[in-house]
């Protein structure tokens, strides 16, 4: 009874088109100001402010004020997971324009899911890591000695990550591929590394990623992933 109320109150937050648009925008894992969110949702600043307040109250986002700006970001990986899962429901959407189709295709090819890699790129990297015995699935996801070396070579500060409260390794079911990709703090670190090395680039202010030629070569060399497996449909 009272349980239904809490479920409904959370679902209700995402049940409004403006708030849904905001949360989708925030899926890139970044911090957005209220004004920018207002624009993303096509509403006025006043409405956006109220929406953000409700999302904060519901625990879906957190805010941080810096001077006259207020930065909004998703409250954590679990929220991102929820938004991703929900956005995969409903009719696959009629896709009314060619531009919309292209955008969706790009999204399926490579994107961020909160703060880690997703789409075909994310799944390919995950599968390659497992296939090359850098990750193991014995009783939960684990890192092999070989995997430790690989990540260390890449410049990932493993001890630093392990000191965090957040889980190092987690699987996240990919929205479009329906098979797991790598999440957790290590997934986040890997994604960051891809971005700083210019292996992938964000397309504008979205969570769509573009794999650079440099990146194609890198994943081919390091993981044996053929560029054709990543090509935009």
Choice from 87, 144, 176, 212 touching a copy of itself (CB under 8 A): 87
CB nearer to a copy of itself: pick between 2 and 196:
2
In the numeric block, which tokens belong to residue 29?
A: 């894992």
CB atoms within 10 A of CB 229: 15
Structure tokens at 10: 């959370």
41 is a contact residue toward a copy of itself (CB under 8 A): yes
Angle subtended by helix axes 98-109 and 119-131, to nearest 10: 20
Q: Is 220 one of the binding residues for a copy of itself (CB under 8 A)?
A: no
Q: Which of 43, 79, 121, 211 binds DNA (CB under 7 A)?
A: 43
Give the contact letters, 97-126, x = binds to a copy of itself (CB under 8 A), - = no: ---x--------------------------
Asked if 36 interacts with a copy of itself (CB under 8 A), we say no
Q: Does 47 bind DNA (CB under 7 A)?
A: yes
CB 35 within 8 A of CB 25: no
CA distance 84 to 106: 16
Please say which residue, 9 or 105, places its beta carbon nearer to a copy of itself: 9
Of 193, 201, 200, which is closest to residue 217 (Cα–Cα)? 200
Q: List, as one string, the DSSP characters of 182-231.
A: EEHHHHHHHHHHHHHTTSEEE-TTSSBEEE-HHHHHHHHHHH---GGGTS
Supply the minimum distance, in Å, between the C-beta of residue 196 and a copy of itself: 29
Please check whether residue 34 is in contact with residue 48, taking contact to mean a CB–CB distance below 8 angstroms.
yes
Nearest to 178 by CA among 129, 108, 96: 108
Whose Cβ is closer to DNA: residue 51's or residue 116's?
A: 51
Determine which residue in the list 16, 64, 157, 210 makes contact with DNA, applying CB under 7 A.
Answer: 16
Smallest gap from residue 157 Cβ to a copy of itself (A): 26
Who contacts 65 (Cβ-Cβ below 8 Å, separation ≥6)? 71
- 155 binds a copy of itself, rule: CB under 8 A: no
Residue whose CB is less far from DNA, 35 or 206: 35
The answer to the question of residue 11 lying near DNA (CB under 7 A) is: no
Contact footprint for a copy of itself (CB under 8 A) = 1-21, 23-24, 41-42, 58-59, 78, 81-83, 85-87, 89-91, 93-96, 100, 127, 130-131, 136-140, 179
Contact footprint for DNA (CB under 7 A) = 12, 16-18, 33-35, 41, 43-54, 63, 66-70
């Amino acid at each position: 009874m009272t349980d239904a109320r809490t479920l409904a109150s959370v679902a209700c937050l995402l049940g409004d088109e403006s708030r849904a648009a905001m949360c989708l925008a925030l899926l890139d894992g970044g911090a957005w100001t209220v004004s920018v969110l207002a624009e993303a949702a096509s509403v006025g600043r006043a409405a956006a402010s109220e929406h953000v307040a409700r999302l904060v109250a519901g625990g879906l986002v957190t805010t941080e004020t810096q001077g006259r700006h207020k930065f909004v970001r998703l409250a954590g990986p679990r929220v991102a997971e929820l938004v991703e899962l929900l956005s995969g429901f409903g009719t696959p959407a009629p896709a009314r324009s060619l531009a919309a189709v292209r955008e969706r295709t790009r999204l399926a090819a490579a994107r961020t899911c909160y703060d880690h890699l997703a789409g075909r790129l994310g799944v390919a990297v995950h599968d390659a890591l497992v296939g090359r015995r850098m990750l193991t699935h014995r009783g939960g996801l684990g890192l092999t000695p070989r995997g430790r070396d690989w990540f260390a070579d890449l410049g990932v500060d493993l001890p630093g990550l392990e000191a965090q409260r957040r889980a190092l390794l987690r699987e996240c079911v990919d929205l479009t591929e329906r098979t797991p990709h790598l999440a957790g703090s290590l997934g986040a670190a890997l994604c960051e590394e891809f971005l700083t090395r210019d292996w992938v680039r964000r397309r504008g202010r979205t969570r769509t990623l573009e794999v650079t030629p440099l990146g194609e070569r890198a994943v081919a060399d390091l993981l044996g992933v053929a560029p054709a497996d990543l090509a935009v449909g």
